[in-house]
Amino acid sequence: MPSPEGGSLKMSLDVEITESGPCLRHVIVKVPRADIDAVHDVAVGELADSAEVPGFRKGHVPAGLIAKRFRRELADEVKQKLLVGSLEQLAEDHDLEPINEPNLDVDMIDIPEEGDFEYEFDVEVRPEFDLPDYKGLTIDRPVREVTDEDVDAYLQQFLLQYAHFHDHDGPAETGDTVVADLAFTHGDEAVRTIEEAMLELRSVLRFQDAELEGFDELMAGVAAGEERTGEITVAAEADNVAMRGETLGVTFSVTAVKKTHLPELDAEFLDRLGVEDEDALKDALRGTLERQAEFGQRQNTRGQVLERITESADWDLPEELVTKQTENALRREILEMQQAGFTPQEIQARENEIRQHAISTTRQAIKEHFVLDRIAEEEELEVDGSDLDAEIQLMAMQSGENPRRLRARLIKSGMIENLEAQVRERKSIEVILEHAEFNDVEGEPLVRDPVATIDQSVCLSSSDTAAEAVDEPAADTAAEDAGEESATGDETGDE
């Protein structure tokens, strides 16, 4: 807070801080009369430089006249200066660590004409807890070498992206493709239909919000003109909240059976991919598998770290923060249900279940944030401009957005602080992993059995348009990588 000399005015505050609940502090601040008068003098001096009063030159109006003529303006200015200055000094002088703005109704506060000025408020603060041991953790690190067999298996899946199909009059076998109309029911009620979906007969048929296990067995031997029926359970994380965990009936009405023919690895096809020969293609696919293995390893170890550092986190959380973030999540879920056409009664029937799910996930995320934030403080980790530049550049590349526009949008929406927090938390995890002891364990297979996928949900209304079923999209990355390697001679693209 500026003084007439341009410095800062240190106030002789009388501050009382008491604990009024979990992570909640009640603060009483008393500003002595001498400081109020000093701030008033500062405000009068600032106003004197610009005040226009008939009969006086600007900057030469007597202080007493300014105080009388601009009484209301000065009262507001003094109140603002006292509140801002005392709150800033409070943050500097007391170890309060607020996580949100003080619960303070400024309009209800008046500065007395005589005597001291006293105000009080409640504010949520960071939870107090003992930082868990985060160095020297023993982490299971999944390790999986990419073998020639992995590359050969991945090559077959990659080639499926370029397969062509021939009609087949006989019964379908595993690996064949059927064209079918799908009808989903919930009890006696029709849920939705998907028309002319191309489905490869694999052990799993995966939708956006559900999986059908044993799909190849269900459809084995089916011929055009026949139907097969089964059941499918909607995923617990489905966007359609009301249908989570529900069992649907599904009928496949087959209209055609097709044999799958993979392309030959001849010069024309390899040239189309932008690779020199079959070995170059396999090298590109090997690089993709290696990056996928590294990505899976990072995700696995990160999950273990978060579990370990929060397993003893039984301390209280700021309930207002938990409530606010839970309500935000709940509103998003309810809005999605409203947009899907659910009645208020149907939404109310599921609201408690939705709320409990939102509370549990929110509380865990907040615990992770506070622990990682404390570790960042302990390790003196900072996020500088170059860190944010790199993050924004990566986000822009992934979204195709101009980096400058993306940055401006993040700043305008207030999301730049969230991005900074994410980078800081990631640095904390990196520190933990740098000091961890790793126990190498055998990783999951890099190449899994192909999965038939269809880019649609099972819970949408029957008016929605069906999408074409495709195989697992992981090979798309490999296709791009193969072309990139030929063009650059370097390791292929991102994961």
pLDDT score for 435 = 96
Tell me the pLDDT of the chain averaged across its residues: 85
On the CB side of 285, CA atoms within 13 Å amount to 27
The C-alpha atoms of residue 131 and residue 128 are separated, in whole angstroms, by 9
Model confidence at 229: pLDDT above 60:
yes
The C-alpha atoms of residue 145 and residue 290 are separated, in whole angstroms, by 8
Average pLDDT value for residue range 411-427: 90
Q: What end-to-end distance do the CA atoms of the chain give, in Å? A: 51
Q: What is the pLDDT of residues 298-309, one digit of tens each?
A: 999 999 999 999
**Strand locations in 235-270 (E):** 247-261
pLDDT score for 119 = 94
Q: Which domains are delineated in the chain?
A: 14-124 (3.30.70.1050), 164-261+449-488 (3.10.50.40), 316-441 (1.10.3120.10)
The C-alpha atoms of residue 211 and residue 157 are separated, in whole angstroms, by 20
- Provide φ and ψ at 410, rounded to 5°: -65, -40
Grade residue 476 by pLDDT with cuts at 50, 70 and 90. Answer: very low
368 with 317: CB under 8 angstroms?
A: no
Angstrom distances, CA of residue 2 to CA of 8, 11, 38: 5, 12, 11
Structure tokens at 193: 């239909």
Average pLDDT value for residue range 138-159: 94
Give the residues across from 190 on adjacent strands: 185
The C-alpha atoms of residue 410 and residue 430 are separated, in whole angstroms, by 25
Average pLDDT value for residue range 135-151: 94
Grade residue 130 by pLDDT with cuts at 50, 70 and 90. Answer: very high
Grade residue 134 by pLDDT with cuts at 50, 70 and 90. Answer: very high
pLDDT score for 375 = 96
Model confidence at 356: pLDDT above 90:
no
Model confidence at 96: pLDDT above 90:
no
The one-letter code for the residue type at 19 is: E
